[in-house]
């Protein structure tokens, strides 16, 4: 399974890179048997963690975002990374079709009148992990913030473990 290592650190901001990364990941997952089971289990835990904290974030965004004069849901944050695509592929999901070539400052095409059209657990990490100052100012005094912050940290640790596990196993598979 050949893969250009430079693509790992390259943002998937063009159709060619995006397609190459998806092809590599799908081939790796389909040819790995049970070797990537731990990666798949970690991805499921990440999804569950994101789903558990989503109501808190959703409540905060419903309060803050409609009054915002500087929309931060822009194309810049809406690109999948190599790590995002590991996660999505581990969940046996296809990432949504993206629109490439948009200006970074353009409004995200998934942002609709009442928020994002993508479920939070499936969004690119640049979107999922981005909290503007106004949103944080609203969230931090909330009674549930501490639990949210702890859960978000747990999800981040699972994310790092998932990526490291995938890298270790995919490196072994390539050496075969």
The mean pLDDT values, 10 residues at a time, for the chain of 176 residues are 55 82 89 88 97 95 87 84 94 83 86 85 89 94 96 96 92 75
The residue length of the chain stands at 176
The secondary structure element, H or E, covering residue 115 is strand 115-116
CB-based contacts of 58, cutoff 8 Å, min separation 6: 115, 120
Q: Is residue 41 part of a domain?
A: yes
**Residue 94 per-residue DSSP state:** P
Q: Is residue 142 part of a domain?
A: yes
Q: Is residue 13 part of a domain?
A: yes
Q: Are 87 and 165 in contact (CB under 8 A)?
A: no
Q: Report residue 147 as tokens.
A: 């639990």
The secondary structure element, H or E, covering residue 157 is helix 145-175
Closest-CA residue to 145 (of 60, 46, 50, 48): 60
Predicted pLDDT of residue 3: 53
* Euclidean distance between CA atoms 129 and 124, whole angstroms: 9
Counted domains in the chain: 1
Supply the pTM of this predicted model: 0.89
What are all long-range contacts of 115-119, with beta carbons under 8 Å and residues at least 24 apart? 115/58, 115/61, 115/62, 115/65, 116/73
Q: Is residue 152 part of a domain?
A: yes
Burial of 89 (0-12, 13-18, 19+ CB in 10 A): buried
* Euclidean distance between CA atoms 120 and 47, whole angstroms: 9
Predicted pLDDT of residue 1: 42
Q: Is residue 176 part of a domain?
A: no
Predicted pLDDT of residue 40: 96
Domain of residue 52: give its range: 5-171
Predicted pLDDT of residue 95: 77
């Amino acid at each position: 399974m050949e893969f250009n290592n430079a693509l790992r650190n390259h943002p998937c901001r063009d159709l060619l890179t995006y397609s190459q990364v998806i092809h590599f990941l799908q081939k790796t997952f389909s040819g790995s048997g049970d070797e990537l089971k731990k990666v798949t289990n970690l991805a499921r835990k990440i999804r569950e963690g994101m789903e558990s904290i989503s109501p808190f974030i959703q409540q905060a965004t419903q309060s803050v975002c409609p009054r915002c004069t500087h929309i931060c849901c822009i194309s810049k944050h809406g690109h999948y990374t190599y790590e995002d695509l590991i996660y999505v592929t581990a969940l046996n999901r296809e990432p949504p079709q993206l629109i490439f070539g948009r200006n970074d400052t353009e409004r995200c095409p998934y942002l609709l009148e009442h928020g994002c059209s993508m479920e939070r657990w499936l969004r690119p990490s640049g979107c999922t992990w981005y909290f503007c100052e106004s949103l944080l100012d609203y969230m931090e005094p909330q009674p549930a913030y501490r639990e949210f912050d702890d859960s978000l940290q747990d999800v981040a640790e699972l994310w790092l473990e998932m990526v490291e596990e995938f890298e270790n196993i995919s490196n072994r598979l390539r050496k075969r």
